[in-house]
Chain A
Amino acid sequence: MDESFANLQSSHLLGSVPAVISDDKRSTNVPIASVNEGPSASMQIFPPNLGNNTKGYQTLESPTVEGPAQQPSNNWKGFFNVYSYTQYFDVDTDVVLNRLMSSLYPTSGDFFNKIDANPDLYGLVWICTTLVFVLASLGNCATYLVKKRTDSNAPWIFDVNYMNLAASIIYGYAIIVPLGFYFALRYMGSKADLLRFWCLWGYSLFIFVPTSLPLLIPVEFLRWVIILLAGSASSCFVALNLRSYLETNNDITVVMAAAFGLQMVLSIFIKVWFFP
């Protein structure tokens, strides 16, 4: 205000033209606005800086502490790192042999107690691989024996497609069926551990490996007896262990029946496709 008056007085002293006077007025207005804006800008600068500092500090700290950045990186790195899967193969030879022996006794029902410490995927992987090879090779041997018995002069040709079929059926069953039971039980509100289910179903298939040798006998009735016995043993193994695992649930009968049925279907499929 005082400064503006001083400017006006100086303009009068100069005795300029009225147009110049109007320009002076405009010029006086501009510095007034600038003066008004200056302190306002300076006043506005400080709070935003403080706000920015505090917000920036918080935002910088919070993700690093809480770990939204770390968790995805860990998951991503772990997915493609071979060593992150070693925990699922942390077994020794005697442990695996013990579990294989347990899978041959279906009525005990204490398989989950034995694997409670550390369920493994070694059994699942290599029992399935062994079964694929055994079914493909002995299946061809079975067709060879049948052909020799019926028509010994006909030339026998090795069917390499047995390998593809066996791999598709066994790996598909061993991966999808436990996964299906896992999601079904989670949907029903019961406890379920996918790793333990894979371990259970993997070892349940072991009984079919030694059973394939007797299935080579080219007697149809005997083959059916052998496969039904093996299938029943394997199905009982799965069903009874599921019962002991889900003892606190009321809908256990349906789950047991489904597991038993699927295992029997698999055994009959093995008989019909590989040992006709």
Chain B
Amino acid sequence: MSQGDTVPLHPSSQSDIDEIENLINESVQSGPGTVLAARPPSPTRPSIPVSSSSSSSPFMQSNLPPLHPSSSAQKVTHVPVPPPLPAVSNSSNFQGASAFGSPPNTLTEPVWDTVKRDLSRIVSNLKLVVFPNPYREDPGKALRDWDLWGPFFFIVFLGLTLSWSASVKKSEVFAVAFALLAAGAVILTLNVLLLGGHIIFFQSLSLLGYCLFPLDVGAVICMLKDNVILKMVVVSVTLAWSSWAAYPFMSSAVNPRRKALALYPVFLMYVSVGFLIIAIN
């Protein structure tokens, strides 16, 4: 054991050899012939504890540096072990939380993720309402995850666009446009309810708001171009597009014998908006 310890450590072995040589030299100088025969065991006895003590001290001194790196190595190996274990447990906890539901995630998520998710929902609803898709005839599927942010944005955007287009009375133009669109959606929904139709109030508001998207595009184009004929063409196309988008929802909500009574007010509102877009300059 001790030899094994000393063999790999050359500087410690050299120091031990030097000490042994010193001890031998001291014993030769001090001892006569006969006395040497009798005295060598006595100096060997005191020499043994001295050498053992001296050797033990350098052993300990030599052991300390190698123990330190070995202990530090062990610590280095121990330090990364706890992090992965709690990391694994944390990840499992997060996975469990995500499996149960999104509230914890949404509570701790960055604001940008929240905004991105809301924007993606608005975009998907817009695609379902304004562009062709197989669910147009079924309001439940077409606008299952309805919201009011999209309609609010489109109404305010259209009001602002018309207000910017107007050369005079900007605030009055915005007020009329906003009142026409906001109150119009409410009145159209009430009209369907009063005709005995089955409709979800806020879903209808949401759909009518999304149907304004084509007219918003038309308003922007008319704001940039000042040609009257081009304005009429653009508004006619966007008006037809908005009416086409609103048609299946409103027609499926009421009795077929009253379909025209429910659809006419919607068309009237979009014509009013179209006229405002053309006339305001």
Contact = CB atoms under 8 A, between A and B. Distances in A.
A158 B195 CA distance: 35
A200 B49 CA distance: 132
B194 A82 contact: yes
Contact of A86 (B169, B180, B196, B257): B196
A133 B281 contact: no
A81 to B, nearest CB: 10
B167 A157 contact: yes
A91 B261 contact: yes
B170 to A, nearest CB: 10
B24 interface: no
A160 B162 CA distance: 11
B261 A96 contact: yes
A85 B258 contact: no
A83 B196 CA distance: 8
Contacts of A130: 268
A269 interface: no
A96 B180 CA distance: 25
B279 A140 contact: yes
Interface string B166-183: 111100110010001000
Which range contains the number of B residues in contact with the other chain? 20 to 34
In terms of DSSP, what is the predominant structure of the interface of chain B?
helix
B271 A133 contact: yes
Contacts of A82: 190, 193-194
A208 B126 CA distance: 39
A10 interface: no
> Interface centre among A92, A96, A130, by most B CB within 10 Å?
A92
Contacts of A137: 272, 275, 279
Interface string B119-156: 00000000000000000000000000000000000000
Contacts of B176: 160, 163-164
Contact of A126 (B167, B180, B264): B264
B258 A92 contact: yes
A174 B167 CA distance: 34
Contacts of A89: 191, 194-196
B168 A92 contact: no
B260 A158 contact: no
A129 B261 CA distance: 14
B259 interface: yes
Interface string A60-97: 00000000000000000000001101101111111010
A245 interface: no
Contact of B261 (A86, A122, A157, A160): A122
Given A83-B193, A158-B279, A158-B280, A133 B261 contact: no
A44 interface: no
A73 B166 CA distance: 50
A125 B264 CA distance: 12
Contacts of B180: 163
Interface residues of A, number: 26
Contacts of A92: 255, 257-258, 261
B265 interface: yes
A42 interface: no
A160 B169 contact: yes
Nearest to A129: B268
Contact of B194 (A86, A94, A160, A164): A86
Given A93-B258, A133-B272, A140-B279, A158 B166 contact: yes
Interface in B78-123: none
A265 B173 CA distance: 30
A92 B197 CA distance: 12
Contacts of B279: 137, 140, 158
Contacts of B264: 126
Contacts of B196: 86, 89-90
A161 interface: yes
Interface string B235-268: 0000000000000000000010111110011001
Interface in B182-239: 190-191, 193-196
Given A157-B168, A160-B280, 5 more contacts: A93-B259, A126-B264, A133-B271, A133-B275, A158-B166
22 contacts: A83-B193, A86-B194, A89-B194, A89-B195, A89-B196, A92-B255, A92-B257, A93-B259, A94-B257, A96-B261, A122-B194, A122-B195, A122-B261, A125-B191, A133-B271, A157-B167, A157-B168, A158-B166, A158-B280, A158-B281, A163-B176, A163-B180
The 8 tightest CB contacts between A and B, nearest first, are A89-B194, A158-B279, A92-B257, A93-B260, A137-B275, A160-B176, A160-B172, A133-B272
